[in-house]
C-alpha cells in the first residue's frame, strides 16, 4: 500500500519503479517529496530536472513538471528553466557519475553562479545504470567492472567540491539517515541560492556485489555505522574518525542569488 | 512603414530579427565569427525584459535554451564550427522532445579549430546529420544582411509552429558583412507562436499530436505537470520500450516535416526560364554566383542561378523540374563537395553536374565560377 506521501506526490500509475530491490535511490526520492510537503510549496511551480542514470529516472515518478535530460547536463537545463522563470522552485536529481564526471563542469559553474537550484546527488559510488563501472566517487582500491584490479583514481568529495566552487548551502546525509536527509533538503530548498545535498545511496546490485558489501540491509547498516555527524566529529579523536565519513550541514552562508541579480539589470535597463 | 535605413552587420541583423520574433532568452559561449550575436544579445535582451546568460560551454548553452523554451520563452543560441559540434547531442534532445528553439551556426573553416576568422560552408551535412538517429531538420541559409533579419524571424516562426529546433546556417561572409538595410516595422511582421493545449490540465497529453502531426505545447509552471524525456516516449511523454511506440514516434517526427514541406521549403531562382546552365549555391557564395551569371549573360550565355533558402529540407521538387530542361548545373560551395551530393542524388543523370569547391579560407570569386562554366562550353 503506497503511503499518503507517495499517493500525493508520485505518479502512482507509473509505479512500480525500475530500481532493483534494495536500491537506495527510492528512499532518497521519497525524502525529497517529504521535504517539499513540509514546506508547502505550490506544486505547480516546482520543476524537477535530472540527467541520465538509475538515480535520474526518479523524475518520471514525481508529479511535478519533470525534465529528464541528457547525461551530465541536468544542471545546464535547470539553469535555463530557473533563469527563464525564477518563480519556479527548481530541483535537480543527479547521480555521482552524472554530476561529477560528465557533468562536473556544469556542476562547478552552477555552484559558482549561486543560481537558485537545489541539487541532490544520489551517490552510490558507481555507475549503476551501465552495470557497475567505477565513478569519480568510487573509493580508491574498490572494484568496478572497469576497475577489475581495483580503482587507482582518487575519489571526489562532492560537498567539499561544491562548497569550494561557491554553493551557499551544502550538506550530506544517507539513505539510512532519512530524517537528517529530509531536513537538509528542506533547508536547501529554503536557501535562495544554490544548494547541494549529497545523499549517500547504495547499489547492492553492482557496487555491493563487486565489493562484497553484503545485502541491501548490510549496506544500510554500513551507512549507519560509518557516518558521523559533523557536530559530534569535533569532539572525536582522529583515530576514532578513521574510516568514517561526515554527515550533516557543512555550509549555510546565503549570498545574493543569480536570477535576482539578473532581475536588477532588467529593472535598470528595461524600456517598456 | 519602414524604419530608417541603417548600416548593419549580418550578426547584428540576426539579433534584431530574433528580438523582433520574440526572443526573450539567449544562452551562448563566445566563438568567432558568431560572438557578436552573443554580445549584442547581452546588451539588448534586458532592455526588453529578456534574459542572457553566458554558459560554461556550448553543450550547456544548448541545454539552457531548451530548459528556457519549456517555460515558454522563445530561445536562441549562436555558435560556430567547434561549438556546433558540441551542440549536437542536445540538438537531438530538442528534436525528440519537440522543444522549439533556434540554433545559429556562423560557419568558419574546419575541421577542428581550422580557420577561425575565415568563411566556409563545411557544416551543410553536419546540420543535416550531426546528431545521432533519424530526425527532421530545418536549416535556413541567408545570403544578405537583410535576409538574415528575415530568416531569423522565420527560424523562430518555424521552430514554434513545428515544435523543433531550427538551424540558421550562416557563413562568415554574411555574419561579418555590413550592408545598408531598411528593417520593417515590428507591427508589419508575421510572428508565429506555439500551439497551446485546448484541453483541461488533467486531459493534456504532451505528445498527442493533432491531425497536423504537431502536439500542442504547455509551458512548465502552468500546472500541467508533465514529463519531458529524451527517451522514446508515448503520447503521455513517459518512456516506453514498445517497438510500436518507438516506430510511431520517430516516423511522426519525420512526417511532421515531410507533410509540411511545401510550407517550409523556400528558394530563389534567377534567369532560369531559358537557362542552359544553372549555378546552385547558398549563403555567401550566392553573391559570387549572381555576379558570375551577369558576367556570362553579358557574353550572351544562357546562365541562371538557383539558391536554396532552406538548405534542409532541400528544394528537391523544383530542382527536379529544372533538370528536365537545364543541361548543366554548377554547384559552388565553400567546402569540398557537400551540397553537390544532394544535387547529384536529386538530378541523377538527367543533367551534367560540375563542381566549384574552395576550402582555403577565401570566399568563392565569380571568376572561379565562370571559369568552370566556360570549360563546359
Ligand atoms: C553521453 C553519454 N555517455 C554515456 C552514457 C551512458 N550512461 C548512462 S547512465 C551512466 C552512468 C550513470 O551513473 P550515475 O550518474 O552515477 O547514476 P546511477 O545509475 O549510479 O544512479 C552512463 C555512463 C550516456 N547515456 N550518455
Ligand atoms: S543498478 Fe544499482 S543503482 Fe541501479 S537500480 Fe539497481 S541497485 Fe539501484
Ligand atoms: Mg552512481
Q: Which domains does chain B have, with CATH numbers?
A: 6-188 (3.40.50.970), 267-376 (3.40.50.920)
Give the mean model confidence (pLDDT) for residues B62-83.
Answer: 99
Cα B339 from Cα B344, distance rounded (Å): 9
Q: Is B283 exposed, middle or buried (0-12, 13-18, 19+ CB in 10 A)?
A: buried
Other CB atoms closer than 10 Å to residue B117's CB: what's the count?
11
Cβ partners under 8 Å of residue B25, min gap 6: A80, A83, A84, B45, B50, B51, B52, B64, B65, B68, B69, B73, B74, B75, B76
Given pLDDT bands bounded at 50, 70 and 90, which one contains residue B177?
Answer: very high
Taking contacts as CB-CB distances below 8 angstroms, the residues of chain B near A64 are 225
Q: At what angle do helices A178-190 and A25-39 cross, to 10 degrees?
A: 50
* A9 alpha carbon – ligand 2 mean position (Å): 22
In chain A, what are the domain boundaries? 4-269
Chain A touched by B75 (CB under 8 Å): yes
Regarding the beta carbon of A213 and ligand 2, being less than 6 Å apart is answered no
Average pLDDT of the residues in A110-132: 98
With contacts defined as CB-CB under 8 Å, which chain B residues touch A79?
A: 27, 53, 55, 60, 63-64, 67
Q: Is B133 on the interface with A (CB under 8 A)?
A: no
List beta partners, residue B62. none
The closest residue, in CA terms, to atom 6 on ligand 2 is: A20
Q: What's the pLDDT score for residue B376?
A: 83
pLDDT score recorded for residue B249: 98
The domain made up of A4-269 is a member of CATH 3.90.400.10? no
Q: What's the pLDDT score for residue A8?
A: 96
Chain B residues touching A12 at Cβ < 8 A: none
Kindly report the nearest CA distance between residue A137 and chain B, in angstroms: 23
pLDDT tens track for B93-134: 999 999 999 999 999 999 999 999 999 999 999 999 999 999
Angle at CA B163, nearest 5°, toward B159 and B164?
65
CA of B151 to the centre of ligand 1 (A): 38
- Residue range A141-159, pLDDT digits in tens: 999 999 999 999 999 999 9
Report chain A's mean pLDDT, rounded to a whole number.
97
Residues comprising chain A, all counted: 272
Name residues 222-261 of chain B within 8 A of A (Cβ).
Answer: 222-231, 238-239
Residues B159-187 have a mean pLDDT of: 96
A216 C-beta closer than 6 A to ligand 2: no
Least Cα distance to B257 among B151, B344, B166 occurs for: B166
Q: What is the mean pLDDT of residues B282-297?
A: 98
Q: Is there a contact between A84 and B90 if contact means CB atoms under 8 Å apart?
A: no
C-alpha A125 – ligand 3 centre gap (Å): 5
pLDDT tens digits for B77-101?
999 999 999 999 999 999 999 999 9
* ipTM of the prediction: 0.98
Are A88 and B220 a contacting pair at CB < 8 A?
Answer: yes
Compute, in angstroms, the gap from residue B63 CA to the centroid of ligand 1.
17
Residues of B in contact with A84 (CB under 8 A): 24-25, 51, 67-69, 71-73, 75
Residue A92 has pLDDT above 70, yes or no: yes
Q: Which cell numbers hold the place of B122?
A: 563545411
Residues written for chain B: 377
For A190-227, write each residue's pLDDT tens digit: 999 999 999 999 999 999 999 999 999 999 999 999 99
pLDDT digits 0-9 by tens, A40-77: 999 999 999 999 999 999 999 999 999 999 999 999 99
Amino acid at each position: 500500500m503506497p503511503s499518503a506521501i507517495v499517493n500525493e506526490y508520485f505518479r502512482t500509475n507509473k509505479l512500480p519503479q525500475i530500481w532493483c530491490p534494495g536500491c537506495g535511490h527510492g528512499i532518497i526520492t521519497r525524502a525529497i517529496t517529504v521535504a517539499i510537503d513540509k514546506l508547502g510549496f505550490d506544486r505547480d511551480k516546482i520543476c524537477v530536472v535530472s540527467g541520465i542514470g538509475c538515480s535520474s529516472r526518479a523524475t518520471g515518478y514525481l508529479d511535478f513538471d519533470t525534465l529528464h535530460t541528457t547525461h551530465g547536463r541536468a544542471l545546464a537545463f535547470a539553469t535555463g528553466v530557473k533563469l527563464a522563470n525564477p518563480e519556479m522552485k527548481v530541483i535537480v536529481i543527479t547521480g555521482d557519475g552524472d554530476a561529477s564526471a560528465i557533468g562536473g563542469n556544469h556542476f562547478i559553474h552552477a555552484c559558482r553562479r549561486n543560481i537558485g537550484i537545489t541539487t541532490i546527488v544520489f551517490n552510490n559510488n558507481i555507475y549503476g545504470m551501465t552495470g557497475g563501472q567505477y565513478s569519480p566517487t568510487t573509493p580508491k582500491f574498490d572494484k568496478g567492472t572497469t576497475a577489475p584490479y581495483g580503482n587507482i583514481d582518487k575519489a571526489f568529495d562532492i560537498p567539499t567540491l561544491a562548497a569550494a566552487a561557491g554553493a551557499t548551502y551544502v550538506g550530506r546525509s544517507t539513505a539510512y539517515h532519512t530524517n537528517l536527509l529530509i531536513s537538509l533538503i528542506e533547508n536547501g530548498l529554503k536557501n535562495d541560492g544554490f544548494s547541494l545535498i549529497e545523499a549517500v545511496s547504495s547499489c547492492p546490485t553492482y557496487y555491493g556485489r563487486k565489493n562484497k558489501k553484503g545485502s541491501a540491509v548490510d549496506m544500510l547498516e554500513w551507512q549507519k555505522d560509518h557516518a558521523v555527524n559533523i557536530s559530534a566529529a569535533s569532539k572525536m579523536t582522529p583515530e576514532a574518525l578513521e574510516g568514517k565519513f561526515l554527515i550533516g550541514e557543512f555550509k549555510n552562508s546565503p549570498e545574493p542569488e543569480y536570477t535576482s541579480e539578473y532581475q536588477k539589470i532588467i529593472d535598470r535597463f528595461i524600456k517598456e | 512603414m519602414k524604419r530608417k535605413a541603417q548600416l548593419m552587420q549580418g550578426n547584428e541583423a540576426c539579433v534584431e530579427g530574433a528580438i523582433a520574433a520574440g526572443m526573450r532568452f539567449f544562452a551562448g559561449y563566445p566563438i568567432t565569427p558568431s560572438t557578436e550575436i552573443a554580445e549584442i544579445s547581452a546588451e539588448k535582451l534586458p532592455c526588453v525584459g529578456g534574459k542572457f546568460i553566458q554558459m560554461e560551454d556550448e553543450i550547456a548553452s544548448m541545454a539552457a535554451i531548451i530548459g528556457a523554451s519549456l517555460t515558454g520563452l522563445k530561445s536562441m543560441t549562436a555558435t560556430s564550427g567547434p561549438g556546433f559540434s558540441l551542440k549536437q547531442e542536445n540538438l537531438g534532445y530538442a528534436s525528440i522532445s519537440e522543444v522549439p528553439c533556434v540554433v545559429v551556426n556562423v560557419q568558419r573553416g574546419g575541421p577542428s579549430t581550422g580557420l577561425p576568422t575565415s568563411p566556409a560552408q563545411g557544416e551543410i551535412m553536419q546540420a543535416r546529420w550531426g546528431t545521432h538517429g533519424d530526425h527532421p531538420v530545418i536549416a535556413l541559409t541567408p545570403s544578405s544582411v537583410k535576409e538574415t533579419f528575415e530568416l531569423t524571424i522565420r527560424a523562430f516562426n518555424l521552430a514554434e509552429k513545428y515544435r523543433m529546433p531550427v538551424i540558421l546556417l550562416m557563413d562568415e561572409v554574411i555574419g561579418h558583412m555590413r550592408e545598408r538595410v531598411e528593417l520593417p516595422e515590428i507591427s508589419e511582421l508575421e510572428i508565429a507562436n506555439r500551439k497551446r493545449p485546448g484541453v483541461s490540465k488533467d486531459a493534456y497529453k504532451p505528445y498527442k499530436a493533432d491531425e497536423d502531426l504537431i502536439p500542442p505545447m504547455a509551458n512548465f509552471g502552468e500546472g500541467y505537470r508533465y514529463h519531458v524525456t529524451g527517451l522514446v516516449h508515448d503520447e503521455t511523454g513517459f518512456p516506453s520500450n514498445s517497438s510500436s511506440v518507438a516506430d510511431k514516434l520517430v516516423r511522426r517526427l519525420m512526417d511532421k516535416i515531410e507533410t509540411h514541406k511545401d510550407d517550409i521549403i523556400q528558394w530563389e531562382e534567377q534567369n532560369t526560364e531559358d537557362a542552359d546552365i544553372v549555378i546552385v549555391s547558398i549563403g555567401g557564395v550566392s553573391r559570387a554566383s549572381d555576379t558570375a551569371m551577369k558576367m556570362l549573360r553579358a557574353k550572351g550565355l544562357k546562365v541562371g542561378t538557383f539558391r536554396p533558402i532552406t538548405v534542409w529540407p532541400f528544394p528537391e521538387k523544383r530542382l527536379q523540374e529544372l533538370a528536365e530542361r537545364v543541361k548543366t548545373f554548377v554547384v559552388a560551395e565553400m567546402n569540398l563537395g557537400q551540397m553537390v551530393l544532394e544535387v547529384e542524388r536529386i538530378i541523377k543523370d538527367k543533367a551534367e553536374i560540375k563542381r566549384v569547391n574552395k576550402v582555403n579560407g577565401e570566399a568563392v570569386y565569380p571568376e572561379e565560377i565562370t571559369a568552370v562554366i566556360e570549360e563546359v562550353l
